[in-house]
Amino acid sequence: MTAMSSSPANTNGKHEPGDSPETLAAAVDRAREQMAPLDEDIRKRADALLKARDSFLAAGVRELVRRFKADERAREVLFEAVDDPLVYAVLMELGIVRPDVTTRVARAMERIKPYVSGHGGQIELVRVEDGVVYVRMHGACAGCSMSAATLKDGVEEVIRQSVPEIERVEEVATEPVAGVVQVTIGASGSLSETHGWIEGPVAESIDEGKCVRVQGDGCDAIVVRRDGRLFAYRNACPHQGLSLHDGECQEDTLTCPWHGMVFDVTSGECLNEPQVQLEPFPLRVEHGIVWVRPTGDGT
């Protein structure tokens, strides 16, 4: 890591324009590029020095975070500080703040996509649930007898290397309507008799761009309609875990009412911090009623 800046600190707690996260990150990237032509032994020693220094800094910052969280007054200051993109980036760099599992899987899949594209196909992340990554294949890979081998030998290996808690990758069939799974209930009964599904409102009662809260049996979710499609997410902003159901829906976005984090309602991606993402929930419509199934424990 490099020195933040030689400019004097502000008294108002804000950064000078030259101290933006982008500028500082660019300086780090330039320094790393300048190391590339160096002798391999020198690079290894420099890398070891940087890692040791980062570990030292991380230990100190981690202790500061622990003490701030233990004090009720300081905890609020800490949460406000984490809203600062530079502070958040530093905590991420030091490994103190870690993205959620879905975000980490999505990052790993970005490295996989060129490989799949090289075989004439595309891969889409559907959801992450109970240690299983569900993906959907498009193009030449969809329905191909080789797709299972591709997932096992390529996709699964890359994802598990990046996210060790993932157990396996499974392919799901292409759905006719994105965002909503329409199901047919047979003689076994309705979803009310199916473990894990929570009954929500009448689908037609959810207005376009409206955020509706669904609760029950430990489940707390939000359902949003956009362009005729329904999307369900855990009712918790990944920033601090605060509820989202009172947030403002506008066009394709949902804004957290607490700290202004803005999310794309169709993908769950945070527009302020791309490494942050809402946790999607499976959603079904049975006889016009919305049903949501929570996944994981929300931690």
Number of domains in the chain: 3
189 in the same domain as 260: yes
277 in the same domain as 217: yes
133 in the same domain as 67: no
186 in the same domain as 270: yes
277 in the same domain as 239: yes
Pairing relationship of beta strands 289-292 and 248-250 according to DSSP bridges: unpaired
pLDDT, one tens digit per residue, over 154-197 is: 788 888 887 888 888 887 765 433 333 333 333 334 444 455 78
Q: How many residues does the chain have?
A: 299
In a domain, 297, yes or no: no
- The answer to whether the beta carbons of residues 279 and 295 sit under 8 Å apart is yes
Given 69, 93, 117, the domain boundary residue is 93
Measured CA to CA, the distance from residue 267 to residue 177 in angstroms comes to: 15
Query: In this model, does residue 14 exceed pLDDT 80?
Result: no
Closest of 116, 106, 118 to residue 159, by C-alpha: 106
112 in the same domain as 162: yes
**Other C-beta atoms within 10 Å of 291: how many?**
23
286 in the same domain as 188: yes
Measured CA to CA, the distance from residue 4 to residue 6 in angstroms comes to: 7
pLDDT, one tens digit per residue, over 16-60 is: 555 566 777 778 778 888 888 888 888 888 888 988 888 888 888
Determine the average pLDDT of the residues in 87-101.
Answer: 74
CATH number at residue 134: 3.30.300.130
In a domain, 79, yes or no: yes
As given in the structure block, the two tokens for residue 78 are: 């800490």
pLDDT, one tens digit per residue, over 196-250 is: 788 889 988 888 878 899 988 778 899 998 888 899 999 988 877 788 988 888 8
In a domain, 208, yes or no: yes
- The answer to whether the beta carbons of residues 16 and 10 sit under 8 Å apart is yes
Pairing relationship of beta strands 168-171 and 211-216 according to DSSP bridges: unpaired
288 in the same domain as 185: yes
In a domain, 5, yes or no: no
Domain hosting residue 63, numbered range: 17-93
114 in the same domain as 77: no
Residues with Cβ < 8 Å from 39, sequence gap 6 or more? none
